């Protein structure tokens, strides 16, 4: 008796041709193989066991993916709740934007090594330079410089720092935003805190202190 094809229907053929085989399709194909196989030449036991093992692995991967999606959703909700809890508190976060209201602003930065000389350049929202502050010598680690912004209009500004060591080599400097959280927004699964008009990713927050 001639062997009967493993696929016995157009539906099964469609499943074989599909580039993605889900667990339901795999199970249907396995049933089709058992249904249409030659009773005088049944599927080899080793092959059958291997296919069952594949089905088991597929089932486990499907369950794992479902669990990971649940964890991700829970983590997103947790981040959102933690971000909302920051409203009214003072935070420091990675970034180089500041909001001015006429009172002196503390520009915070972290130097990878001792600074022999350097300068802070401050720009308005149009990218125009409004102030340069000499840093002088600064130690490795967290530092700050006070900007008297009373002579400029209130609003958003950015700052950049160039620094060098005793050998004249450039020193890596990380800059930080400092201020009171005024609001929170959520976009594409991410949480953002707002300091005035400045929007900062929640994960960039490095320090929190009580608000005034």
Which residues share a beta bridge with 193? Answer: 184, 200
Q: Over the stretch 182-192, which tens digit does the pLDDT of each residue have?
A: 888 888 878 88
Same structural domain, 148 and 205: yes
- Distance, in Å, from the CA atom of 89 to the CA atom of 86, rounded to the nearest integer, reads 5
Q: Give the count of domains, the chain.
A: 2
pTM of the model: 0.57
Q: Residue 112 domain-assigned?
A: yes
Average of pLDDT values for 195-209?
A: 84
Q: Over the stretch 111-151, which tens digit does the pLDDT of each residue have?
A: 999 999 999 999 998 999 999 999 999 999 999 999 999 98
What pLDDT score was predicted for residue 21?
52
Boundary (domain end) residue, out of 83, 117, 142: 83
Boundary (domain end) residue, out of 60, 83, 106: 83
Same structural domain, 95 and 27: no
Q: Residue 149 domain-assigned?
A: yes
What pLDDT score was predicted for residue 210?
84
3-state secondary structure of 2: coil
Same structural domain, 95 and 74: no
Q: Over the stretch 21-71, which tens digit does the pLDDT of each residue have?
A: 556 666 676 677 666 665 655 555 556 556 656 666 766 676 677 667 676
Q: Residue 179 domain-assigned?
A: yes
What pLDDT score was predicted for residue 3?
40
Same structural domain, 51 and 16: yes
Tokens at 128, concatenated: 């125009």
Same structural domain, 103 and 175: yes
Same structural domain, 101 and 79: no
Same structural domain, 125 and 201: yes
What pLDDT score was predicted for residue 207?
84
What pLDDT score was predicted for residue 50?
66
Boundary (domain end) residue, out of 38, 68, 83: 83
Q: Residue 73 domain-assigned?
A: yes
What pLDDT score was predicted for residue 16?
42
Q: Residue 3 domain-assigned?
A: no
Residue 157 has pLDDT above 80, yes or no: yes
Residue 196 has pLDDT above 70, yes or no: yes
Residue 78's pLDDT band (cuts 50, 70, 90): confident
Residue 17 has pLDDT above 50, yes or no: no
Residue 1's pLDDT band (cuts 50, 70, 90): very low
Q: Which residue has the higher pLDDT, 120 or 209?
A: 120
| CATH code assigned at 152 | 2.60.40.4070
Q: Residue 2 domain-assigned?
A: no
Q: What are the two backbone dihedrals, phi and then psi, of residue 119, each rounded to the nearest 5 degrees?
A: -150, 150
Same structural domain, 163 and 185: yes
Q: Which residue has the higher pLDDT, 167 or 14?
A: 167
- Distance, in Å, from the CA atom of 49 to the CA atom of 191, rounded to the nearest integer, reads 48
Q: Which domain holds residue 178?
A: 87-209
Same structural domain, 108 and 25: no
Same structural domain, 52 and 100: no
Same structural domain, 105 and 153: yes
Q: Residue 1 domain-assigned?
A: no
3, HSE (Cβ side, Cα atoms, 13 Å): 9
Q: Residue 176 domain-assigned?
A: yes
Residue 194 has pLDDT above 70, yes or no: yes
Same structural domain, 79 and 96: no
């Amino acid at each position: 008796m001639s062997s009967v094809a493993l696929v016995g229907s157009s539906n099964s053929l469609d499943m074989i041709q599909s580039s993605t085989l889900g667990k339901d399709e795999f199970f249907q194909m396995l049933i089709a193989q058992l249904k249409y196989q030659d009773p005088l030449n049944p599927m080899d036991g080793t092959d059958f066991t291997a296919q069952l093992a594949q089905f088991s692995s597929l089932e486990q991967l499907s369950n794992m993916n479902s669990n990971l999606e649940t964890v991700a959703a829970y983590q997103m909700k947790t981040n959102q709740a933690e971000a909302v809890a920051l409203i009214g508190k003072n935070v420091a976060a990675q970034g180089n934007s500041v909001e001015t209201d006429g009172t002196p602003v503390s520009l915070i930065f972290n130097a990878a090594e001792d600074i022999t000389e350097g300068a802070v350049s401050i720009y308005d929202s149009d990218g125009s330079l409004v102030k340069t502050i000499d840093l002088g010598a600064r130690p490795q680690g967290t530092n700050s410089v006070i900007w008297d912004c009373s002579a400029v209009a209130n609003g958003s500004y950015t700052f950049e720092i160039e620094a060098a060591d005793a050998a004249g080599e450039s020193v890596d400097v990380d800059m930080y935003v400092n201020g009171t959280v005024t609001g929170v927004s959520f976009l594409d699964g991410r949480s953002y805190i707002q300091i005035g008009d400045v929007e900062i990713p929640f994960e960039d927050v490095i320090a929190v202190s009580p608000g005034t």
